[in-house]
């Protein structure tokens, strides 16, 4: 059988192929030039020995960057995205921020997520006693801070290193400084991370001190040691184990419940019903690191139970929000991928998750 093909069909097909090739060629030849005002900005933008420029090129392998004088030209398939990164970094430099390799990497992440890094990184939360300004370092952290500002109770859930407790303490100090609350209350359940510490010596504060040390660390990082001592002596900052919250009504307070994954459902209900007039509360936790006996955590399923209540906010942070060493982000990603793989192998299901959560958390601890 002889198949006849119309000349018009051939022309149409050939035209489509040519159009596609031309489109790909034009795409690969995109070029954007950014003019940077000032040699001091260029030095901060490029980094030592063009370190920051190489970070951007590594993240956009199909795009090349060329510098000539005070001009940066991006050429290639993702030239527009790369140019947006350059523009955002210039804006940050113009507002007085100092760049480092991690900031450049986070800027690329935010641009790829259609966020404005200059807006995220320019949100000042609190100025420490040493003059350092605390700011969000990811879009997730920005959403977390907005949730704390706009809700009576905020739940910050995410892996280690995402700044859940750190930023909560900063917001508490900001509220105290502005006169919106009269005191700060820091609490967490006294649960060991897979180890038996036995009976600890000393009075109440000496016994609970090891459990509350991360919150102390945040306080001392943001205020000087004399300031912390003075605030605690006056009762303006109170640190106590969760068990001592029962029966209290906490008015005009900023309350932070840390490591909430180690509460029981009964303890969580008890804590949430302590909130009084003029108070705010932040509940932080990592659902993958449950140390409470039997894995029966008060943090699990809360969004399903409380999600429809006005004044409550839930923010989930992920590996992209990790602000510790970059290796921490890689570790978090690896554990998440391993958990996803195991769930697929076992067929998923809530019963699998609840049964494995305790073992997984002990390994991570």
Q: Are residues 111 and 162 in the same domain?
A: no
**Domain identity same for 113 and 162:** no
Report CA Rg, the chain: 26
Last residue of a domain, one of 121, 150, 184: 121
Model pLDDT for residues 10-54, shown as the tens digit of each residue: 455 545 544 444 434 444 568 899 998 878 888 899 988 899 999
Instruction: Examine the domain organization and report whether 189 and 333 are in the same domain.
Output: yes
> Where in the sequence is the domain holding 209, given as residue range(s)?
137-364
Note the residue count of the chain.
365
Beta-strand runs (E) in the chain = 31-35, 63-68, 71-76, 126-127, 133-134, 153-157, 183-188, 237-241, 253-257, 280-285, 312-316
**pLDDT on residue 85:** 94
Residue with more model confidence, 77 or 333: 77
Same-domain check for residues 110 and 163: no
What does the block give as tokens for 343?
């769930």
- Ranges 4-18, 90-104, 115-129, 166-180: which has the least confidence: 4-18
- For residue 360, pLDDT over 80 is answered with no
Please check whether residue 8 lies inside any domain of the structure. Answer: no
Residue 185 has pLDDT above 90, yes or no: yes
**Residues 177, 293: one domain?**
yes
Q: Which residue has the higher pLDDT, 167 or 329?
A: 167
Count of domains in the chain?
Answer: 2
Q: Would the pLDDT of 340 be above 80?
A: no
Kindly state whether residue 168 falls inside one of the protein's structural domains. Answer: yes
Q: What is the mean pLDDT of residues 156-174?
A: 93
In a domain, 129, yes or no: no
For residue 203, the model assigns a pLDDT of: 62
Q: Are residues 273 and 177 in the same domain?
A: yes
| Final residue belonging to a domain, choices 67, 93, 121 | 121
Q: Are residues 192 and 295 in the same domain?
A: yes
pTM of the model: 0.74
Between 239 and 157, the higher pLDDT residue: 157
What's the pLDDT score for residue 313?
95
- Non-local (6+) Cβ contacts of 176 within 8 A are 182, 183, 184, 236, 254
pLDDT: is 174 or 17 the higher one? 174
- pLDDT of residue 362 exceeding 90, the answer is no
Give the CA distances from residue 57 to residues 78, 100, 223, in Å, rounded to whole numbers and listed in that order.
Answer: 10, 16, 39
**Arithmetic mean of pLDDT, 108-125:** 86
Is residue 273 pLDDT above 70, yes or no?
yes
- 19 occurs within a structural domain: no
The residue out of 70, 90, 121 marking a domain boundary is 121
Residue 180 contacts by C-beta under 8 Å, 6 or more apart in sequence?
278
Same domain? For 76 and 181 the reply is no
Ranking 20-24, 154-158, 167-171, 305-309 by mean pLDDT, the lowest is 20-24
Same domain, 76 and 143: no
Axis crossing angle, helix 204-222 with helix 225-233, rounded to the nearest 10: 130
Read off the CATH number of the domain in which 209 is found.
Answer: 3.40.50.300
Average pLDDT over residues 268-279: 95
Determine the Cα–Cα distance for residues 157 and 305; give it in Å rounded to an integer.
Answer: 16
Query: Looking at residue 34, which CATH number applies to its domain?
Result: 3.30.1370.10
pLDDT (0 to 100) of residue 327: 79
Please report whether residue 7 resides in a domain.
no
The answer to whether residue 89 scores a pLDDT higher than 90 is: yes
Considering the chain, what is the average pLDDT of its residues?
Answer: 81
pLDDT at 321 over 70: yes
Q: Look up tokens 């554990």; give the residue.
A: 335
* Residue 1 CB burial class (10 angstroms; 0-12, 13-18, ≥19): exposed
Whether residues 233 and 98 share a domain: the answer is no
- In the predicted structure, residue 66 carries a pLDDT above the cut 70: yes
Say if residue 214 is in the same domain as residue 109. Answer: no
206 with 77, same domain: the answer is no
Indicate the SS3 state at residue 178.
coil
> Which residues, 6 or more positions from 111, have their beta carbon under 8 angstroms from its beta carbon?
81, 84, 85, 88, 117
Residue 291 covered by a domain: yes
284 and 125 Cβ atoms separated by less than 8 Å:
no
Residue 66 inside a domain? The answer is yes
Query: Is position 167 within any domain?
Result: yes
Give the pLDDT band of residue 341 (cuts 50, 70, 90). Answer: low
């Amino acid at each position: 059988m002889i198949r006849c093909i119309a000349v018009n069909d051939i022309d149409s097909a050939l035209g489509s192929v040519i159009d596609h090739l031309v489109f790909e060629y034009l795409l690969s030849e995109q070029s954007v030039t950014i003019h940077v005002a000032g040699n001091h900005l260029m030095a901060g933008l490029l980094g030592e020995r063009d370190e920051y420029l190489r970070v951007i090129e590594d993240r956009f392998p199909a795009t090349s960057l060329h510098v000539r004088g005070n001009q940066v030209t991006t050429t290639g398939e993702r030239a527009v995205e790369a140019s947006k990164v350059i523009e955002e970094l210039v804006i940050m430099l113009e507002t007085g921020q100092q760049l480092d390799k991690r900031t450049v990497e986070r800027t690329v992440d935010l641009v790829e997520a259609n966020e404005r890094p200059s807006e995220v990184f320019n949100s000042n939360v609190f100025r420490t006693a040493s003059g350092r300004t605390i700011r969000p370092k990811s879009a997730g952290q920005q959403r977390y801070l907005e949730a704390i500002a706009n809700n009576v109770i905020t739940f910050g859930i995410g892996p280690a290193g995402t700044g859940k407790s750190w930023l909560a303490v900063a917001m508490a100090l900001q509220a105290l400084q502005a006169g919106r609350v009269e005191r700060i209350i820091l609490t967490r359940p006294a649960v060991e991370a897979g180890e038996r510490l036995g009976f600890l010596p000393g009075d109440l504060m000496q016994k609970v001190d090891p459990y509350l040390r991360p919150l102390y660390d945040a306080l001392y990082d943001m205020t000087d040691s004399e300031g912390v001592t003075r605030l605690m002596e006056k009762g303006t900052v109170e640190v106590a184990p969760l068990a001592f919250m029962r029966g209290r009504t906490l008015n005009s307070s900023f309350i932070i419940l840390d490591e909430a994954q180690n509460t029981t459902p009964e303890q969580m209900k008890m804590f949430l019903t302590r909130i009084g007039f003029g108070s705010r509360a932040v509940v932080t936790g990592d659902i993958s690191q449950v140390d409470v006996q039997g894995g029966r955590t008060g943090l699990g399923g809360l969004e399903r139970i409380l999600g429809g209540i006005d004044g409550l906010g839930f923010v989930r942070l992920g590996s992209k929000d990790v602000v510790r060493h970059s290796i921490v982000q890689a570790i978090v990603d690896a554990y998440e991928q391993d958990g996803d793989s195991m769930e697929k192998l076992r067929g998923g299901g809530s019963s699998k998750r609840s049964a494995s959560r305790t073992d997984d958390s002990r390994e991570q601890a």
